[in-house]
Structure 1
Amino acid sequence: MNTTTRYILLVIFLVIGLHSILSFTHEDYGRATSISNIAAQLPWSSSSSTLEDIPDSYYISPETNVTGGIQAGKANATLLMLARNSDTDSAVRSIRELEDKFNKKFKYPWVLLNEEPFSDEFKKRISNVVSGEVHFGEIPHDHWYQPDWIDEEKATAARKKMEDDHIIYGGSLSYRNMCRFNSGFFYRHPILQNYKWYWRVEPDVHFHCDIDFDPFAYMQENNKVYGFTITMYEYLATIPTLWETVQNFIKENPQYVAENNAVNYLSDNGGSSFNLCHFWSNFEIADMDFWRGEAYSKFFDHLDKTGGFYYERWGDAPVHSIAVSLFTRKDQIHFFDDIGYEHNPYTHCPRGPGKWEKGKCSCNPDHSFDYDGYSCMKQWDRIQ
């Protein structure tokens, strides 16, 4: 081995060693140079079918104020938030961001729901930052609290075990109430009977890009049912019998399974088992008529009567995701790459050609969660 060859090998080893040290000692460097983040920038990881473009006709125009075939802001839709009085500051921040980035141009109404009456202070602070109508509603008792038929001794034991096992929200009854409400009741609220579409927004989330198009108009005119920005794995310990319960429902009701569905996003073996992938439901834009329909209504009732929301810790995210993946066509589910969204600790930053620039986004594309090791975007890509 000559001197030049030895020198080249030494440089290579030094670079590899420096990369390893930085990856373990500097979180940002490790993320930016991780295999998952590098892969996200390769051509084969940005499939054109996955990154469906929003046509320019859906972008608001000062001259026409029309998006697609619908006058801007005129879809039968609302922005929806579930919040408590203690969430006042974080709720105001989220609403103000979405107003600044989107709704001051489209002026969709807001609906805010709480299991208790909203305080005057909460209503005053929220009303001060919205550009249009806002409605404050109290959740009916039977829609929120644990039903009487649940075996409380069994439910308490389950919560205690999950808490001992350090499972997130494992010991929380209020979290279970929220998951059951979001799974089977929010779309039944009297105020929401006036609307077909909703955009779910939570306190303390962030929107990093200008949203100059109307997602409601786009979904309505293109026969979409459900839209998402982040997809990830669920904790198996929270849903150990959920897939078995789903399979039992499908055996009894095969007529509800749609042709060309997205089962291969949920499963790596054609539905025999659940790979735990789901759409992160703290952001979702969806058609409430799907939840109100016969298939989902029977599906939710089937799940609910098993008590899994309380004896385990079934989340609304896997419940919604399984339902839309099985009971709709896969082309009726839309990945909103254009919307820069953050719910700590994860961020989706637009990655399609020119989308980051078009939205004047403030997020760092190198830190987007899309191809993180815990993301399920690769499972979504493969079914497109």
Structure 2
Amino acid sequence: MQPKKKLMPKSAFLVKKYERHIRLLFIAFITVLCFVFITRSGNGSSETPVLPPKTVEPAVSSPGGAKDKFLKPHTDKVQNVFYPEDDGVREKACMVTLARNKDLWHLVTSVRDVEDRFNKNYHYDWVFLNDEPFNEEFKSVMTAMVSGTAKFGVIPKEHWSFPDWIDQDKAAEVRKQMKEDGIIYGDSVSYRHMCRYESGFFWRHELLDEYEWYWRVEPDIKLFCDIHYDVFKLMKQNNKKYGFILSVSEYEKTIPTLWETTKNFMKEYPQHVKENNLMKFISNDGGKTYNMCHFWSNFEIASLELWRSPAYREYFDYLDRSGGFFYERWGDAPIHSIAAALFLEPEEFHFFDGIGYYHPGFTSCPVEEAIRLQNRCTCDPGDDQTWGDSYFCTRKYFGARGLKLPKEVR
């Protein structure tokens, strides 16, 4: 008698019967999952992938236009600048603000803009300087606002006062006459101290001793666009020494003898003037006269070593001894600009395109649509004054550097 066959459990029988179908369903399920993943990651899609904020490339006026704005590594084909990726290493840099206690609520939005648009990703320190001690409200608010360390310094009295060689009566007469002539800040003593301080002393403050780079930020400014790269690392890795956004013309009545004094300095200190300089930006006739063009210094990203150099120290001392800060109304913007043009090579300058900037009176808004969209700019390009004629000097700068204007500029 043959043994009775052992019957399989019903569940096992069904699994064996439909095993091939189950395998096919599993393969189909995995295939669908892979397709969904690949599609969502951007492969196989005709749409431009949305990249995380830190991998979006900076805005530049490059001939490639929008199609290569996300290329890595990225080069600005106009200014021949390489935009570095974030390697997590921070430069010896800080933001610098000259302010008074009464400026607090005019400064809060400026600081917030720089933090939101840039520094929240990098946490650089912030140095605040004042000719009197900051009060507790100013310090507590600013400490809360910044993502790096907030430092508060008092300006030494000798840096914010009349030097002993200034004739006080003569200086007072000048201020009186300038007021009658309707010259802006013509009768202001504090404005003159500020211009002299920004020209010759801010970079000597002990709080800045540990830094190599700075970004000057003032009250009431606005940033319109995201900045997706480390501006200080860009300057360092590309061997840049002076960066700007706006360039305008100075009021000639405020600096009637500045250029003659500068020419005298060049004769006495020819060793400081670079053979390959940017004279074409500040003079239309090879240095005979000054064309009044200067970089608007309320926005500066620059090397502190430029101002610490023997060339600039001797230039500032020469100007200071002439008395022009008080007998006229010399501004720090033309002084910084003239010095940089004479002591640097053209390739050591950088025009910060793509940031978007406002200081009361003037607006810079990227003219390229792709840049504005990429950097989430909140400005109206119709308000841009960067490329204006006559009073504005950015075209002059591009011409002096031999750079091609963006195609959107007419």
> Do Structure 1 and Structure 2 share a fold, with TM-score over 0.5?
yes
The structure that has the greater radius of gyration is 2
**AA paired with 1:379?**
K
Residue correspondence of structure 1 range 28-67 to structure 2 within 5 A: 51-52=78-79, 55-58=82-85, 60=86, 66=87
Residue correspondence of structure 1 range 188-203 to structure 2 within 5 A: 188-203=204-219
Q: Could you tell me which of 200, 204, 208 is aligned with 2:220?
A: 204
* Residue 376 of structure 1 pairs with residue 390 of structure 2: no
Name the residue aligned to 1:15: none
Name the residue aligned to 1:137: 153
Q: Could you tell me which of 227, 249, 256 is aligned with 1:240?
A: 256
Tell me the TM-score normalised to structure 2 length. Answer: 0.77
* Residue 91 of structure 1 pairs with residue 107 of structure 2: yes
Q: 1-side partners of 2:295 and 2:102: how far apart?
A: 27
SS in 2 for 1:354: helix
Name the residue aligned to 2:298: 282
Tell me, which stretches of 5 or more residues in structure 1 are unaligned? Answer: 1-40, 61-65
**AA paired with 1:334?**
H
SS in 2 for 1:237: helix
Name the residue aligned to 1:169: 185
User: What is the CA distance between 1:49 and its match in structure 2?
Assistant: 8.5
User: What is the CA distance between 1:339 and its match in structure 2?
Assistant: 1.4
Task: Assess, with a 3 A threshold, how the Cα gap between structure 1 residues 219 and 352 changes in structure 2: closer, same or farther.
Answer: farther
SS in 1 for 2:102: helix
User: What is the CA distance between 1:86 and its match in structure 2?
Assistant: 0.2
Deviations, residues 179-231 of structure 1 (Å, cap 9, x unaligned): 00000000000101111100000011000000111110011011111000000
User: What is the CA distance between 1:50 and its match in structure 2?
Assistant: 9.2
**AA paired with 1:152?**
Q
Q: Any conservation in 2 of the 1:94–1:205 contact (CA below 8 Å)? A: yes
User: What is the CA distance between 1:351 and its match in structure 2?
Assistant: 3.0
Q: Could you tell me which of 105, 116, 121 is aligned with 2:121?
A: 105
Q: 2-side partners of 1:306 and 1:50: how far apart?
A: 43
Q: Any conservation in 1 of the 2:82–2:238 contact (CA below 8 Å)? A: no
Deviations, residues 4-49 of structure 1 (Å, cap 9, x unaligned): xxxxxxxxxxxxxxxxxxxxxxxxxxxxxxxxxxxxx9x9xxxx99
Q: 2-side partners of 1:331 and 1:55: how far apart?
A: 13
Of stretches 329-338 and 346-355 in structure 1, the one that deviates more from structure 2 is 346-355
* Residue 149 of structure 1 pairs with residue 175 of structure 2: no
Name the residue aligned to 1:214: 230
Name the residue aligned to 1:38: none
SS in 2 for 1:81: strand
Residue correspondence of structure 1 range 177-188 to structure 2 within 5 A: 177-188=193-204
Tell me, which stretches of 5 or more residues in structure 2 are unaligned? Answer: 1-60, 64-74, 402-410
User: Percent identity at matched positions?
Assistant: 49
Name the residue aligned to 2:349: 333
User: What is the CA distance between 1:371 and its match in structure 2?
Assistant: 2.1
Q: Any conservation in 2 of the 1:51–1:337 contact (CA below 8 Å)? A: no
Deviations, residues 54-78 of structure 1 (Å, cap 9, x unaligned): 54534x4xxxxx2xxxx35x10000
User: What is the CA distance between 1:367 and its match in structure 2?
Assistant: 1.3
SS in 2 for 1:331: helix
Name the residue aligned to 2:143: 127
**AA paired with 1:104?**
K
Name the residue aligned to 2:267: 251
Q: Any conservation in 2 of the 1:337–1:351 contact (CA below 8 Å)? A: no
Q: Could you tell me which of 303, 310, 317 is aligned with 2:319?
A: 303
Name the residue aligned to 2:364: 348
Q: Any conservation in 2 of the 1:232–1:280 contact (CA below 8 Å)? A: yes
User: What is the CA distance between 1:366 and its match in structure 2?
Assistant: 1.9
**AA paired with 1:52?**
Q
**AA paired with 1:357?**
L
Q: 1-side partners of 2:117 and 2:76: how far apart?
A: 26
Aligned residues: 328
Task: Point out which structure has higher relative CO (alpha carbons under 8 A, 6+ apart).
Answer: 1
Q: Any conservation in 1 of the 2:165–2:321 contact (CA below 8 Å)? A: no
Deviations, residues 291-336 of structure 1 (Å, cap 9, x unaligned): 0110000000000000000000000000000000011101101100
Tell me the TM-score normalised to structure 1 length. Answer: 0.83
After superposition, the CA RMSD in angstroms is 1.7
Q: Any conservation in 1 of the 2:84–2:234 contact (CA below 8 Å)? A: no
